[in-house]
Chain A
Amino acid sequence: MPKITELRGLFKPFTKPLHRQWKWVWQEKGKFNEPKLTIPKAFEGRQLNIIDPLHEPDPNALPDESTPWTSPTRHPMFEYLVPPLPREQHPLFHHDRPVFLFDSKTKLHAGNIHPTKNQKLTFIGFVCLFKGVDQACLLTKTIPFYELPQSIKQNLDQVTIPNQDDLIQSYIRQSIAYDATKEKLPRKYTPLKQRRSFRVEYSIPRPRQMSILLENTLSLCESLGGRYPDLFKRNLYRNTPFYTTFERYGELVHLRKKNEYILTSPTPLSPIVKRLYKLEISSGDSVNENLGVHDPNGHYVMQGNDYKFLNMYPVYPTIDLQSEQLYQDGDEQGWRMKKSNEYVHTTFYVSNDELIHEATTDERLARMVMFAFGTALVQARQLYPNGHLTKPVTVQSVFLLDELFHFVVFQLNTLNYNETNDQRYNYVWIDKDNYLYDNRPSMVMHNPLYGTERNLQRYVLEKLKYNPEVFQKFLALYLQGIK
């Protein structure tokens, strides 16, 4: 039903005093009348060449009049009366082929035992740490490492931009305090059932804050193009669709997402680990500590040998995914295949969570792993249509929520997810919890500074605690594939 204020809006023309009514009519419907050419009677009979000083008559002046008026069968005002079309009648509804849907709201909670009355909460905090990532790894046959790969770590602090830290801080200030957008923000609320009310605030919406920060940062990275001209061959796509489906032990898993930003480059990223097969290096006493330095490939392969996949028996790992029949077949990367050489370099996942505690780090990382895997999968299928992967596919992914960055590097080694005996696994490197600045005021408990806009702006303008390492990592990831 329309609200009373909306109804007022509908009856707008009839609720005003006459002068405002006239103003509205003139404002909305008023036309500027051209004075017509009137020929005096005395001139009528004569053969005079009369020149219209104002305008030539324009035969195409009003194209609307030529189109016939069709009666509106359904007016948008009464659209709420029309029942929505049932989902089964959607042309994309698959009646016989349900899939397990993984979208940007799905949470993987392996190990999250919901305590019943008799159970105690002890140890649960320790037990359920990173089980979501393990579940995602199980779904995608991936081995995780919780650090950046050695090859990227070596490049940290190698390249710097003059004044980079000052510039990033000024971007932070621009995005939070100095941008003059004044929009009504959603109501603030406190978690954990605290009853506190906050006044309505008019300021910069948070998606805009994040996009200002991210676009400026990306642009700063690109300003190295004077040194590395290949950077100008890259492309940035925004708000593109992405979906793909893969089969795992007879179950179809469908990944779907709107990609906020995708950076593509003309050359694919080189794989981090060149050797694909798990080596038969026994883990144990004979581990050479220096192996990581001399032979990072062997190092990762060996570490991967130690990894035990999550055992969820008797539960299926797809338990958290919803069954869905309305989906699109095939792979979608977000662009028409215009160029032959265009490879995904980095995807940027800009979160729209209202509070930082809306999801746990684990749940977010699990999503990142799934989508990074999906991106790599689509690219691999396009590169190797016969399904035989001859060279690994690598993609990077960056998560952004306010000041929080997670970096993920994914290497796809296999397209076969139906068996575990082929000794081929994917690898993912996760660098989590990078805070661009510390002590950001937020709405969570035990924080003396509540995260209202006012406090946020004062914090940013007066006591910002900036962490320069995050941008170095960002830059190192951005410059992968150059040189």
Chain B
Amino acid sequence: MVLFHRTTSSTFLWYRLNLCRYKHRLNHPGVHIPHGVQYQVPYNLPDEYTEQSLYPPIRSKHPPGSWGSMESKKAWMHFELGEKYYRHLKCVKERLTIMAYQNMMCYYDELDVEQIDSKLIWMLTGRPRSPRCLPFYKHITQTHVTDELPKFYEQMDVESLLNYVKPILIDRILTDEYAQKEDIPLEDMYDKGDYKVPSVMRDKQLEMDKKQTTNVLTKMIRTIVNVLAEHKPYLRKTMIGSDVPIEAWWSSNLNGMKLDRAKWHHDSNTTSFQFRDKASVQVKTDRPLRSIVDPNSTLCQTPVPLCPYPPPAYKVFTDRYLPMQIPGHWHGEGHDFNLLTVYPMDSIYRYDSYFGEDELLPSLMSWIVNASHAELLAQAYYLGFSMWREPTYPLIAQTILSNRRQWIFGVYQLNTISHFKPHDAHTTSNICWVSPLMNLYDGIENGELVNFNDDVLRHLLRFILNEPTQQPNWNLRPYVEDITNLDERYRKFIRNLYEVVKLDQQDSREHHRWAKVHHGTTVFNRRYAMMTTLFKDIVFDNWPREWYGRTLERIERKKSMPTIKEYDLLMPVTR
């Protein structure tokens, strides 16, 4: 060490850096290298001087698009985020996984111990749990609500169909509601004398009601679809599911509200919401429904008023959850467009949701707003749109709430999903049309339906007869690349990555939330890291560092650093 101490000769320097047995001490703070590591200055540099100084072009204050009062730096940050997202991720499945991963990212503390820090999210369900919550749901979904259904439904003539279908439907409803016997185990056929807790019994009854609603509504809708199938081939090709989970995640701007919970980690001025509910019946097609109003019309520019109250005021609370976009099925099934979704509204009469006759309709409206928005949002993600890429055409959902007896119909047009932008940045809003609450029948007496209401059936038939555009002349998925020519291994990687979201547990913490038991990490993070490590060649080549996962972050990439000469050739100083 002493021998080379003050040597500046380049040969010795090279020896010290590369071959000497002390080379491992090179970066040690105790090793003093005078003047740093110095490279030889190449002699024959071209003359780069110009008359006037050259600068990179000045960036505009805001990136393209409408950003309102968002500060410049933040707007550019969001813009870059979106660019990165779309530049590196080719497939929707990849994007969905990354969206989940970003919310589950961990950090390492001073002792390099991994800390779980999955983000808190406001958890929403369709059923509102507080009165007068419609303004809140309007605000977080950017929705303008109208009291009546669009006019064009009334132009559809369904009378002959109605006369044909009505007796069939009545017969089938009565079969389920009246004629069918229930299978009761022998042990439950007599009273055992135990104390029946009223709340438990009420919950059981509610579950049975929901199940019955699902059965009856599925049967009704399948019957109508089958009656029409011979004449409307698209109806035979629809995908019908019952008890279908619907989930959606979005981040919403706080608009100056002081709220320190559930922040989205990219931007402390936003919170994130996760919607979770189960639809009784869902009918999906592979073609979109026609838009109801032009997204540039004045109706779509109606401003949505701000709601200044925080979510807990409406009994919305946080939880940790793997954020997911599920419009009823996993990605890859061809039927990506909503035709009809029915939710069971039996639970609206629970004590914490029923606030009197006056509040019933607004509560149902907020349910429709919330559920339709969530489903369309997830649908938009499946079609390649996202918070950074607005849908290029409006998406339509037809939503029904029903408890077999009472029905309410809603239509939703989704125009915008970039809720992370501040309030003044929104140029369009989403529109929801809601019908009044109607009775299909008043009750069942002596095996007959009392006061069967044709109007409700008419509405239902019109919803099902609303035909999707068979030959859309626009690109349905403009931001989705064709991956058929992609490398086989890359496609396997995408598939495996998505299976992490599909098949794994939400969160490994099986204990109750208040018990502080720390496992090393969540299952999701482990499996994600496993996949990125298995396919590390792809990840190293295509992804930025922050999506590497916990294992790959620690593996140094073995690449040959360019020598000085190669470096000069690769990046010449001249431009």
Interface pair A457/B499, CB less than 8 Å apart: yes
Say yes or no for A173: interface residue by CB 8 A criterion. Answer: yes
Within 8 A of B (CB), among A445-459: 453-454, 457-458
Q: Quick check: B227 and A225 within 8 Å, CB to CB?
A: yes
Cβ of B197 and Cβ of A235 under 8 Å apart? no
The yes or no answer to A158 lying at the interface (CB within 8 A) is: no
- Known contacts A26-B315, A75-B195, A258 near B183 by CB under 8 Å: yes
A167 x B195 contact (CB < 8 A):
no
Tell whether, in the assembled complex, residue A202 and residue B130 are in contact, meaning their CB atoms are under 8 Å apart: no
Measured in the bound complex, the distance between the Cα atoms of B528 and A83 in whole Å is: 50
Task: Determine, out of B95-103, B237-245, B248-256, the stretch whose residues face the partner at the interface.
Answer: B237-245
Judge if A122 is at the interface, Cβ distance under 8 Å: no
Q: Which chain B residue lies CB-closest to A242?
A: B183
Q: From known contacts A174-B239, A226-B227, A241-B183, infer whether A15 and B174 are also in contact, taking CB-CB under 8 Å.
A: no
The residue that B328 contacts in the complex, of A12, A180, A232, A332, with Cβ under 8 A, is A180
Q: Check: B115 CB closer than 8 A to any chain A CB.
A: no
How far is it, in angstroms, between the C-alpha of A241 and the C-alpha of B329 when the chains are bound?
A: 33
Residues of A within 8 A of B330 (CB): 177-180
Is A74 engaged at the interface, CB distance under 8 Å to the other chain? yes
The stretch of A16-24, A306-314, A373-381 in contact with B is: A16-24
Instruction: Contact check, B241 vs A212: say whether CB atoms are below 8 A apart.
Output: yes
Q: Beyond A174-B329, A203-B503, A241-B183, is A219–B237 a contact (Cβ under 8 Å)?
A: no
The residue that B514 contacts in the complex, of A16, A58, A162, A232, with Cβ under 8 A, is A16
Instruction: Say whether chain B's binding surface is mostly helix, strand, loop, or mixed.
Output: mixed
- Residue A39 is within 8 A (CB to CB) of chain B in the complex: no
Q: Are B328 and A162 in contact (CB under 8 A)?
A: no
Number of interface residues of A (CB under 8 A): 78
Q: Give Cα distance in the complex from A167 to B514, angstroms.
A: 48
Give A461 Cβ to nearest chain B Cβ, in Å.
7
Q: Judging by beta carbons under 8 Å apart, are B241 and A240 in contact?
A: no
Distance between A322 CB and nearest chain B CB, rounded to angstroms: 14
| C-alpha gap A178/B233 in the complex (Å) | 23
A343 CB to nearest chain B CB (Å): 14
Cβ of A200 under 8 Å from chain B = yes
Known contacts A178-B333, A237-B175; is-contact A32 B131 (Cβ 8 Å): yes
Q: Quick one: which of A226-266 are within 8 Å of B by CB?
A: 226-227, 232-233, 235-241, 258
Partner of A170, one of B195, B239, B242, B355: B239
Cβ of A238 and Cβ of B215 under 8 Å apart? yes
- Chain A residues lying within 8 Å of B329, measured Cβ to Cβ, are 174, 178-180
Q: Chain A contacts of B332 at CB under 8 A?
A: 177-178, 461
Determine if B219 and A236 form an interchain contact, defined as CB atoms under 8 angstroms apart: yes
How many B residues face the partner with a CB closer than 8 A? 70
Given contacts A76-B200, A79-B194, A167-B236, contact A223 B230 (CB under 8 A): yes
B244 touches A180 (CB 8 A): yes
Indicate if A387 sits at the interface (CB-CB under 8 A).
Answer: no
B505 pairs with A85, CB closer than 8 A = no
B223 interface contact, C-beta 8 A: yes
B66 at the interface (CB under 8 A from A): no
Q: Does A216 contact B (CB under 8 A)?
A: yes
The answer to whether B514 touches A15, judged by C-beta atoms less than 8 angstroms apart, is: yes
Contact residue among B179, B195, B197, B315 (Cβ-Cβ distance under 8 Å from A335): B179
Check B237 against A200 for contact (C-beta < 8 Å): no
Q: Which residues of B contact A162 (CB under 8 A)?
A: 233, 236
Tell me whether A226 and B183 are in contact (CB under 8 A): no
Among all A-B residue pairs, the 8 with the closest Cβ atoms: A226-B230, A223-B229, A72-B195, A241-B183, A178-B333, A223-B226, A74-B195, A178-B329
Q: Can you name 24 A-B residue pairings with CB atoms under 8 Å?
A: A5-B511, A17-B514, A20-B514, A72-B197, A74-B194, A90-B186, A167-B236, A170-B333, A180-B244, A180-B329, A180-B330, A212-B241, A215-B218, A215-B242, A219-B222, A219-B225, A222-B222, A225-B229, A226-B229, A237-B175, A241-B182, A258-B183, A454-B503, A457-B503
Interface residues of A (CB under 8 A from B): 5, 8-9, 12, 15-17, 20, 23, 26-27, 30, 32, 55, 58, 72-76, 79, 82, 85, 90-92, 161-163, 167, 170, 173-174, 177-182, 200-203, 212, 215-216, 219-220, 222-227, 232-233, 235-241, 258, 326-328, 332, 334-336, 338-339, 453-454, 457-458, 461
Tell me the B residues contacting A by CB distance below 8 Å: 130-131, 168, 171-172, 174-175, 178-184, 186, 189-190, 192-195, 197, 200, 215, 218-219, 222-223, 225-231, 233, 236-237, 239-245, 247, 312, 315, 317, 326, 328-330, 332-334, 355-356, 447, 495, 499, 502-506, 511-512, 514-515
Besides A170-B333, A335-B180, 8 more A-B contacts (Cβ < 8 Å) are A90-B190, A179-B241, A180-B245, A182-B502, A203-B503, A225-B230, A241-B181, A454-B499
